[in-house]
Chains A and B, each alone.
Chain A
Amino acid sequence: MEKTIICRCEEVSLEDIENTAKKHNCSAREVKLRTRAGMGYCGGRTCRPAVDAVLADVTGEKAGHQVPLKVQPPVRPVTLSVLGGTHHDN
């Protein structure tokens, strides 16, 4: 069967995530760090629920009350000049 991509930005497949979760019996965060799923351009907006679903299935890690794969700013793709402060006009 053809690979099913889960994280489009970093091209991480369902198989990669399942195998990583099984092999290391790890948390969503560890899966992210090991595979880069959720670390791409979209900031995990597309694959975050999917990575969660795999983890719930493989390791039994239930979605807790905190948002999975901690959300970090910037939550939108922005240029470095915006982040760097040359852009501010208050």
Chain B
Amino acid sequence: MLDVVIIGAGPAGLSAAIACRESNLDVLVIDEFPKPGGRLLGQLHQEPTGEWWNGIKETEALLNKANALNTKIKCGVSCHHIEKTDDGYIIHTNTALIKTKKLLIATGAAETAAPIPGWTLPGVMSIGAAQVMTNVHRVQVGKRGIVVGVNVLSAAIARELQIAGIDLHSMALPVKNTVTKDHAHPGKVMDGLVRIAHLAPSAFLRFGSKFAQSAKVREMAVKLYPSGGVKMWGMPIHIRKAITKINGTNQVESVTMSNVTPEGDIIPGTEEIIKVDFVCIAGGLYPLSELASVAGCPFRHIEELGGHVPVHNERMETPLEGLYVAGNITGIESAKVARAQGIVAGYTIAGDVAKAESAMQDVKAIREAASIQFHPQIKAGRAKIHRAFQEYV
């Protein structure tokens, strides 16, 4: 029986493994992707300080540390079930049953779909898939595309595609339906955009900081939003235009775009057809918690954290003995936060209270310094889930 199994070789899982190996625990990290790094591998962006965040390099740094400590990492291993036993957990994978005393689930997040007519055509992909194809597999996703869904994640990845030399027509909203409604509402999207405005060059920065002043100003900005969009990195961002349909016979050939009211309703007679050969859909992220769920962990639905998250405390313990969580499964935040949470989890698992406490302070400091918050109320969300843990024990 192993001391620890870690599911997910992303920033949280790898840093946890390193912390566990420092205490010489018998650790196995598994991941279903062919190589370790998780979604960190795809990340490439310039920080407001001008420095570049290169996910491949960050992954290498973690792997070097893990390898120096002889950490076992198995990729291409997919876990489909977890059973709790009296003395630990049995991990069901596609290759073997693995028995362990302690288990860390660091499975990250999944993308939320924003379904619109035609989104099942070949050539339509999630924005995250486009990121992995571009930055990890180095495959050109298409000749000319459009991004449907305007949010923190899609703006950052659209920029990465641009850097890779891929032609993007623009970013626009999805057509409004009961599923997409929050992503299709210009006012709500504007609120989200204001939060990333400081990441863009001067023109949008000035524009954005004006918007940021008050709700009234934002409301006005939505009303008077320029029909040519506002350019970020030279690419038009439309929040008063929506993609109503993706067209094509065997694959994407074009999209239909229409102007929308400040509430996101289609303005009839404004349709235009835009020729594209790929479409990236961006509906945001939600914690990928299915394994924690089958293991029997209790959950809370916390909007600020991105949806259903396993109940846990700041030490990354869940109410189930020997079960820990770290990274985006605990709430949608940056890879830096995930990496720091992994360290907390690793030290907690190793029983090193002093180091875990100090790592918890690092998590807070990194959160405080983050230039992008996926949700503005992240701290309130964290407080809620930690309270839920107190209620449980």
Q: By the criterion CB–CB under 8 Å, are B178 and A54 in contact?
A: yes
Q: What is the CA–CA distance of A38 and B99 in the complex, to the nearest angstrom?
A: 30
Q: By the criterion CB–CB under 8 Å, are B290 and A45 in contact?
A: yes
Q: By the criterion CB–CB under 8 Å, are A76 and B78 in contact?
A: yes
Chain A residues with CB under 8 A of B298: 65
User: CB within 8 Å of B: which of A26-80?
Assistant: 43, 45-47, 49-50, 53-54, 57-58, 63-68, 70-76, 78-79
Given contacts A14-B177, A53-B178, A78-B78, is CB(A5)–CB(B120) below 8 Å?
yes
Given contacts A5-B115, A75-B81, is CB(A49)–CB(B290) below 8 Å?
no
User: CB within 8 Å of A: which of B58-93?
Assistant: 78-81, 92
Q: What is the CA–CA distance of A4 and B112 in the complex, to the nearest angstrom?
A: 15
Distance to closest chain A CB from B251 (angstroms) = 16
Chain A residues with CB under 8 A of B118: 2
Distance to closest chain B CB from A9 (angstroms) = 10
Q: What is the CA–CA distance of A56 and B187 in the complex, to the nearest angstrom?
A: 21
Given contacts A45-B110, A75-B294, is CB(A6)–CB(B78) below 8 Å?
no
Q: By the criterion CB–CB under 8 Å, are B115 and A90 in contact?
A: no
* B278 lies within 8 A of chain A by Cβ: no
Chain B residues with CB under 8 A of A46: 113
Distance to closest chain B CB from A60 (angstroms) = 12
Distance to closest chain B CB from A8 (angstroms) = 6
Q: By the criterion CB–CB under 8 Å, are B294 and A71 in contact?
A: yes
Q: Which single member of A3, A54, A63, A72 contacts B308 (CB below 8 Å)?
A: A63
Q: By the criterion CB–CB under 8 Å, are A66 and B299 in contact?
A: yes
Distance to closest chain A CB from B242 (angstroms) = 13
Q: By the criterion CB–CB under 8 Å, are B113 and A50 in contact?
A: yes
Q: What is the CA–CA distance of A75 and B92 in the complex, to the nearest angstrom?
A: 10
Closest Cβ neighbor of A2 among chain B residues: B117
User: CB within 8 Å of A: which of B195-213?
Assistant: none
Chain B residues with CB under 8 A of A66: 299
* A23 lies within 8 A of chain B by Cβ: no
Q: What is the CA–CA distance of A35 and B307 in the complex, to the nearest angstrom?
A: 24
* Size range of the chain B interface in the assembly: 35 or more
Q: What is the CA–CA distance of A14 and B114 in the complex, to the nearest angstrom?
A: 12
Chain A residues with CB under 8 A of B290: 43, 45, 67, 71, 75
Q: What is the CA–CA distance of A5 and B113 in the complex, to the nearest angstrom?
A: 11
Given contacts A14-B177, A14-B178, A53-B178, is CB(A74)–CB(B92) below 8 Å?
yes
Closest Cβ neighbor of A68 among chain B residues: B308
Chain B residues with CB under 8 A of A58: 178
Closest Cβ neighbor of B284 among chain A residues: A49
Q: Interface 1/0s, chain B 227-259, versus A by CB < 8 A?
A: 000000000000000000100000000000000
User: CB within 8 Å of A: which of B258-311?
Assistant: 286, 288-291, 293-294, 298-301, 307-308
Q: What is the CA–CA distance of A3 and B289 in the complex, to the nearest angstrom?
A: 30
Chain B residues with CB under 8 A of A49: 112-113, 286, 307
* B32 lies within 8 A of chain A by Cβ: yes
User: CB within 8 Å of A: which of B19-37?
Assistant: 32
Q: What is the CA–CA distance of A47 and B115 in the complex, to the nearest angstrom?
A: 9
Closest Cβ neighbor of A42 among chain B residues: B110
Closest Cβ neighbor of A89 among chain B residues: B96
Chain A residues with CB under 8 A of B291: 75
Q: By the criterion CB–CB under 8 Å, are B179 and A50 in contact?
A: yes
Chain B residues with CB under 8 A of A67: 289-290, 293, 299, 308
Q: By the criterion CB–CB under 8 Å, are A5 and B299 in contact?
A: no
Chain B residues with CB under 8 A of A65: 298-301, 308
Chain B residues with CB under 8 A of A47: 113
B81, B113, B117, B307: residue with the most chain A Cβ atoms closer than 10 Å: B113
* B214 lies within 8 A of chain A by Cβ: no
Q: Chain B: residues with CB nearer than 8 A to chain A?
A: 32, 78-81, 92, 94-97, 99, 110, 112-113, 115-120, 177-179, 181, 245, 286, 288-291, 293-294, 298-301, 307-308
Beyond the given A50-B112, A73-B294, could you list 9 further A-B residue pairs with CB under 8 A, ordered by the A residue number? A6-B115, A43-B290, A63-B301, A66-B299, A71-B293, A74-B92, A75-B81, A76-B79, A78-B80
